[in-house]
Amino acid sequence: MHKLVAGGEKYGTRGFGWVRRLRGMVLISLLAMPALVLAANGGGAMAEMPSLSQRMMMLAIQLGVILVAARIGSQIFEHFNLPGVLGELCIGILIGPSLLGGIPIPWSQTFSQGLFHVSPLLGSGTTPVSPELYGICTLASIVLLFMAGLETDLALLMRYAVVGGLVGVGGVVVSYGVGALLGMWLLPWIMEGNFGFFHPACIFLGVMSTATSISISARILSEKRKLDSPEGVTILVGAVLDDVLGIVILAIAMGVIGAGAAGGGGDFNWGYIGWIAVKSLGIWLGATIIGIIFSRQIGRVLKGAGSKAQIAILALGLALIVAGLFEEAQLAMIIGAYVLGLSLSRTDISQVIREHLHPIYLFMVPCFFVVMGMMVNVRQLCEPRILIFGLIYTAGAILAKIVGCGLPTLFCRFNLRGALRVGLGMVPRGEVALIVAGIGISRGLITQEVFGVAILMTLLTTLIPPPLMVMAFRSDASGLREGAPQPPEMPVLAYRFPTVEVTSLLLNHLFEQFRAEGFFVHMLDLKGETYQMRKEDMVINLNREPQTISFQCSDQEMPFVRTAMTEVVVEIEQTLKELQQPLDAHRVLAVPGTSDIRMARRTRLTKYITENTLIPELQGTTKIDVITELVRRLAEQGLVHDREEALAAVLQREEAMSTGLRHGFACPHARTTTVDNLVCAIGIKPDGIPFDSLDGEPTRFILLVLSPVGAVAPYMELMAAMRGVFDEEGRKALLACKTAPEMMSVITRRLG
């Protein structure tokens, strides 16, 4: 399972470090004031409608203020163990046009209405921020949802689809129903008109209450070490499905609203609405399925961009295009961004994209939350009717999640304690709710009052659940009923080494080995303790402790990991020989209770095996003889440039540590400049020869592999897969072969 890890480091003392950082931020703001004054004075003679260059000057100053203010708000809230995004949202309310941002600057005509003030929209209507700022906010929402899609764990989604699906569906259905019904009941208090269940404002109140902010719950689960618990996994999967279903409902809602508008307002053509709903769902579902099916092809195209940074930028460009196409199809842009992110989440470059887009994320996303806060009209929100509306709506949103998400777990072997934990974990709302609210107000589908209610609900549902979750998880009592099975865990393979220095040396060589195999290696935390290696559908998690390296992966990846560790230990053995400090590789690599399991991805490996490099009966009588015979066969086929050099490389590798394994199988191999691509030859010696094997038995099956130096090739993957070919059944079948075609048939059948 993908682990959520918290990065960062606290500087200074616990009591005063945050004060120093806050003081530094304030100092930066004060130093920027002279520039603001000069810019303001320079605008004294401006016309009422500023020019393009003047608007860009305003945008630069506003963005600078937003970024500094966002950091201040985030630091303050994080000091009190509250989410930083809430600080950004609250600081946005503070500097918005309804409070500090609306205070006129007397010496400036440019900012005569305040640093932030209500601006005309392009077209008609007004918005609390300038169109330029709202444009950046829109781009930020695309980046935010694209990154959310990239972080979605499809494997986890499928593994816990039943209970997570019930939780997600229950939460969405109940939350949407409660939100829309409360809108029908409460909206007449604050505005005139008839508000039915399908009124745009009611629809948006329903959609806004469905989304779950997983970041808040994940932080608490991580602190309590409950991420891998039944409740933790259920919350993670349910929250992902919640957001997915919320986006689907938003797509349908936009279609329904569009159908209602086309029908002339209050008269709904239900047939047309049904068609629009089906079309919206079909576009979303179709795009998602196509994206997932062709994700590898998309990944290969992106890899052709060159460097990792260029891959990330090209992926972002593709996300913007897909987002625009979804908007053109009368759906929201964030839906398209999420679909593309979800599609790329199963590729080996997903972490690459996330890492290299992180600076863009750090720039744009705080702007999004601050601008969302700036759009709140505090004066309207403080009116008693609207405030009561917001509190009732918030209470309904909290109860809807607890009931809608908690009750379904009772049918999946959870007890009441576990159901309450899951329900509380699903309560926090966040970025998706704010994005939906932003879409509603920008299109004129909800008013400032409703938008303020949405912000209040987001704030309260994020502040209230954390302490309740901490109390719910304070007890170590299980959330499952007695006799209920615990969720399965991925197997862990651990290696312990004699010193910290040896462990670090092995780790560096191991990463080089994985990169040479075409893996992307990612550091998941700033302390350098958790890593992830990805290549297409292979995912291997690594955790490093002072003297231990442990791997967490599926059974299919275990042979690959053991092969990689063997190769790394041999490399270290050769290095340490020069220092007269040999490493006992056999002792280090002894892992009791493990067994070789064939890897699933065999089909593409058959291209490295041909009948011309298969020898059903070797003539040699010693290890060196058969290795020489196999190298000669490769040279005769034109696969090796220099036979002697290739033979020397293999024999040097054998001197470091014998490649004789168990059950009569050996895999001599080497990296050499004498080959352009990975090549292999397979020979059988029915009577067997001594090969210094691990079990001392004679060796009958020899797989010789040569791989180019410095090139990406499935070197260890081929060896790990072929070890699965030579199991008991495969050995019997190969010993019965008399010709190379018969051998090829057996190997192909065993691989496929």
Q: What is the 3-state secondary structure (H, E, C) of 320-376?
A: HHHHHHHHHCCCCHHHHHHHHHHHHCCCCCHHHHHHHHHHHHHHHHHHHHHHHHHCC
Do 143 and 64 lie in one domain? The reply is: no
Q: Which two tokens stand for residue 459?
A: 């704030």
Query: Could you give the percent of the chain with pLDDT greater than 90?
Result: 6
Assess whether 253 and 109 both reside in one domain: no
- Which of 559, 589, 619 is the endpoint of a domain? 589
Q: Is 70 helix (H, G, I), strand (E, B) or coil?
A: helix
**Which of 468, 458, 410, 492 is closest to 234 using CA atoms?**
410
Q: How far apart are CA 149 and CA 344, in angstroms?
A: 8
Range of lowest pLDDT (65-79, 171-185, 360-374, 602-616): 602-616
Does the pLDDT value for residue 630 go beyond 90? yes
Same-domain pairing of 245 and 336: yes
3 state SS of 64: helix
Residue 174, in any domain of the structure: yes
CB 515 within 8 A of CB 352: no
Report how far residue 598's alpha carbon sits from residue 721's, in angstroms, rounded to the nearest whole number. 6
Mean pLDDT of 1-17: 38
Residues 270 and 203 reside in one and the same domain: yes
How much is the average pLDDT of 535-560?
78
Give start and end residues of each alpha helix (H) in 96-199: 131-150, 154-159, 161-190
Nearest-CA neighbor of 89 among 363, 368, 360? 368
CA 190/CA 455 separation, integer angstroms: 16
Tokens of 417: 């304690």
Judge if 109 and 148 occupy the same domain: no
CATH number (domain holding residue 574): 3.30.310.10
**Start-to-end C-alpha separation, the chain:** 28
Report the pLDDT value the prediction gives residue 476, as an integer from 0 to 100. Answer: 74
What is the pLDDT, as a whole number, of residue 258? 66
Q: Where are the alpha helices (DSSP H) in 524-662?
A: 558-578, 585-589, 623-636, 643-656
Nearest of 170, 78, 155 to residue 426 by alpha carbon? 170
The 3-state DSSP class for residue 680 equals strand
289 and 396 both lie in a single domain = yes
746 and 672 part of one domain = yes
Q: Give the integer Cα–Cα distance in Å for 284 and 336.
A: 8
> Which residue's entry shows tokens 């608007």?
55
- The single-letter DSSP state of residue 141 is H
Cα separation of 722 and 51, whole Å? Answer: 70
Among 84-93, 436-445, 660-669, name the most confident range: 660-669
Quote the domain boundaries for residue 171: 131-472
Q: How confident is the model at residue 632 (pLDDT cuts 50, 70, 90)?
A: very high
Q: What value does the CA radius of gyration of the chain take, rounded to a whole number of Å?
A: 31
Which burial class, exposed, middle or buried, applies to 95 when counting CB atoms under 10 A from its CB (0-12, 13-18, 19+)?
Answer: buried
Please report the pLDDT score of residue 593 as a whole number: 42
Out of 1-15, 251-265, 294-308, 645-659, pick the least confident: 1-15
Q: Are residues 91 and 34 in the same domain?
A: yes
Do the Cβ atoms of 711 and 518 come closer than 8 Å?
no
**Residue 694's pLDDT band (boundaries 50, 70, 90)?**
confident
Q: Of 557, 589, 621, which one is at a domain's C-terminal end?
A: 589
For residue 383, with 0-12 CB atoms within 10 Å meaning exposed, 13-18 middle and 19 or more buried, which class applies? middle
The answer to whether position 422 is within a domain reads yes
> Around Cβ 512, how many Cβ atoms within 10 Å?
13
Q: Cα-flanking dihedrals φ and ψ of residue 187, to 5°?
A: -60, -35
Shared domain for 655 and 568, answered yes or no, is: no
Task: Locate 682 and state its tokens.
Answer: 């397979």
* Secondary structure class of 540 (helix, strand, coil): strand
Q: What's the average model confidence in pLDDT over 139-158?
A: 75
Distance CA 113, CA 682 (A): 81
Mean pLDDT highest for which of 95-109, 273-287, 669-683? 669-683
Answer yes or no: do 301 and 422 share one domain: yes
Verify that 654 and 547 share a domain, yes or no.
no
Above 80 in pLDDT, residue 739? yes
Last residue of a domain, one of 95, 120, 145: 120
- Per-residue pLDDT for 71 more than 80? yes
Q: What are the pLDDT digits (tens) for 290-334?
A: 888 888 888 888 887 777 888 889 999 999 998 888 878 766 687
Angle (deg, nearest 10), helices 230-262 and 200-208: 170
Beta bridge partners of 665: 701
- Over 70: is that where the pLDDT of 520 sits? no
Angle in degrees, 0-180, between the axes of helices 131-150 and 52-79, rounded to the nearest 10: 50
- Once rounded to an integer, what is the mean pLDDT over residues 234-258? 71
**Highest mean pLDDT pick, 189-198, 277-286, 352-361:** 352-361
Question: Is 95 contained in some domain?
Answer: yes
Q: What is the mean pLDDT of the chain?
A: 75
Instruction: Please determine, for residue 463, whether its predicted confidence score (pLDDT) is greater than 50.
Output: yes
529 or 483: whose pLDDT is higher?
A: 529
- Note whether 723 and 559 are within 8 A (CB): yes
Distance CA 742, CA 748 (A): 10
- pTM tops 0.75: no
Mean pLDDT confidence for 482-509: 72
User: Based on the domain organization, do 187 and 110 belong to the same domain?
Assistant: no
Residue 388 has pLDDT above 80, yes or no: yes
Question: 327-332: long-range contacts at Cβ-Cβ below 8 A with a sequence spacing of 24 or more?
Answer: 329/283, 330/254, 330/255, 330/258, 330/280, 331/251, 331/254, 331/255, 331/280, 331/283, 331/284, 332/247, 332/250, 332/251, 332/254, 332/439
Q: Report the pLDDT value the prediction gives residue 666, as an integer from 0 to 100.
A: 87
Q: What is the rounded CA–CA span in Å between residue 406 and residue 412?
A: 11
Residue 595 lies in a domain: no
Which phi and psi angles does 201 have, rounded to 5°? -65, -40
Q: How confident is the model at residue 119 (pLDDT cuts 50, 70, 90)?
A: low
Mean pLDDT in residue range 722-728: 75
* Token pair for 255: 């279609």
Domain contains 304: yes
What confidence score (pLDDT) does residue 523 get? 65
pLDDT for residue 477: 78
Among candidate residues 202, 216, 175, the one with its CA nearest the CA of residue 81: 216
Q: Is residue 576 part of a domain?
A: yes
Q: At 622, which CATH number?
A: 3.40.930.10
Q: Which residues contact 400 (CB under 8 A, 6 or more apart)?
A: 171, 174, 175, 177, 178, 179, 209
Residue length, the chain? 752
Residue 594 pLDDT level (bands cut at 50, 70, 90): very low
Structure tokens at 404: 């809608």
Paired strand residues for 126: 120
Which of 22-26, 216-220, 403-407, 414-418 comes out lowest in average pLDDT? Answer: 22-26
Q: Is residue 337 part of a domain?
A: yes
Per-residue confidence at 36, pLDDT binned at 50, 70, 90? very low
* Lowest pLDDT segment from 313-327, 598-612, 623-637: 598-612
Whether residue 631 has pLDDT greater than 90: yes
What integer is the mean pLDDT of 452-458?
A: 83
Comparing 105 with 227, the larger pLDDT belongs to 105
Give mean pLDDT, residues 260-286. 63
The total number of structural domains in the chain stands at 4
Distance CA 216, CA 234 (A): 15
| Domain assignment of residue 486, yes or no | no
Lowest mean pLDDT among 67-76, 287-296, 547-556, 572-581: 572-581
Residue 683's pLDDT is what? Answer: 92
